[in-house]
């Protein structure tokens, strides 16, 4: 009986000590000052940011000086409706984030530094398909495409990625007209499209040939009438 009482007393004492320790720790935590929330890093606006007024002024200038000429130069659509000039092209935000991550990944693999991102003005052909056989969804529509560029010496060149038979990647520099550039900086006219692959090819796949970094197929407004 004495042994049972002694064991009970020991357990009770241990429980009381644990309760006292827990309460002390809780009070200590309550008395400790909370860490102030970390401030987010302030990002300064780029120098190229313009005001809404300036944007509206340039938009209006384009309306007055270009839109009418474009629409007059285009014949009516097959259904007789008026051709409407494209006013803007857009990509969803997630696509842009994926594109930026993709070209940075490919640039690292090719050991090339991206120094700028070019936006080329373009126009879809008045045909059901492109020369490579891809469908033209909106014939005659104005558009843009994006391509990264890198600096070599005093000049900057747009580029795609070339992968050799050993799977080693290197930049294929292009001229401003998108011809492959020769060692003297001049354009070389030869077809590279038969070895080109989509800009969002899976990262794990290493193809022999050219890997495109050109982003197109956005959405435009006003949407063409089909």
- pLDDT band with cut points at 50, 70 and 90 for residue 113: very high
215 and 106 in a common domain = yes
Residues in the chain: 226
- pLDDT band with cut points at 50, 70 and 90 for residue 142: confident
165 and 65 in a common domain = no
Among the listed residues 122, 125, 128, the one whose alpha carbon sits nearest the alpha carbon of residue 74:
125
Q: What does the alpha-carbon distance between residue 58 and residue 220 come to, in Å, rounded to a whole number? A: 19
pTM of the model: 0.69
Domain residues for the domain of 100 are 89-221
Q: How many CB atoms lie within 10 A of CB 213?
A: 24
Is the pLDDT assigned to residue 193 strictly greater than 50? Answer: no
pLDDT at 197: 35
Domain end marker among 42, 59, 85: 85
pLDDT at 134: 87
Q: Higher model confidence: residue 226 or residue 156?
A: 156
Q: How many CB atoms lie within 10 A of CB 106?
A: 24
Is there a cis peptide before residue 20, judged by omega within 30 degrees of 0? no
Average pLDDT over residues 158-171: 90
How many domains does the chain contain in total? Answer: 2
137 and 76 in a common domain = no
100 and 197 in a common domain = yes
158 and 144 in a common domain = yes
- pLDDT band with cut points at 50, 70 and 90 for residue 52: very high
Q: Are 183 and 173 in contact (CB under 8 A)?
A: no
Domain end marker among 39, 68, 85: 85
Least confident of 111-125, 138-152, 187-201: 187-201
Among the listed residues 6, 167, 171, 38, the one whose alpha carbon sits nearest the alpha carbon of residue 103:
171
Q: Are 147 and 199 in contact (CB under 8 A)?
A: no
125 and 204 in a common domain = yes
Q: What is the pLDDT of residues 55-104, one digit of tens each?
A: 999 999 999 999 999 888 887 777 777 888 888 888 999 999 999 999 99
């Amino acid at each position: 009986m004495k042994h049972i009482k002694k064991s009970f007393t020991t357990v009770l004492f241990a429980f009381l000590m644990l309760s006292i320790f827990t309460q002390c720790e809780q009070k200590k935590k309550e008395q400790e000052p909370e860490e102030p929330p970390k401030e987010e890093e302030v990002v300064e606006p780029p120098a190229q940011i313009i005001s809404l007024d300036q944007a509206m002024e340039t938009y209006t200038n384009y309306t007055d000086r270009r839109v009418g000429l474009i629409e007059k130069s285009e014949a009516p659509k097959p259904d007789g409706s008026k051709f409407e000039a494209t006013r803007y092209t857009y990509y969803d935000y997630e696509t842009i984030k994926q594109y930026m991550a993709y070209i940075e990944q490919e640039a690292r693999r090719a050991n090339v530094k991206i120094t700028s991102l070019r936006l080329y003005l373009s126009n879809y052909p008045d045909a059901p398909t492109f020369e490579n056989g891809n469908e033209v969804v909106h014939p005659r529509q104005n558009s843009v495409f994006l391509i990264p560029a890198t600096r070599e010496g005093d000049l900057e060149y747009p580029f795609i990625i070339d992968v050799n038979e050993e799977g080693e990647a290197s930049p294929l520099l292009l001229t401003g007209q998108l011809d492959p550039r020769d060692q003297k900086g001049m354009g070389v006219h030869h077809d590279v499209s038969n070895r080109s692959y989509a800009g969002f090819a899976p990262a794990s796949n290493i193809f022999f040939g050219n890997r495109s970094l050109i982003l197109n197929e956005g959405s435009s407004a006003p949407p063409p009438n089909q």
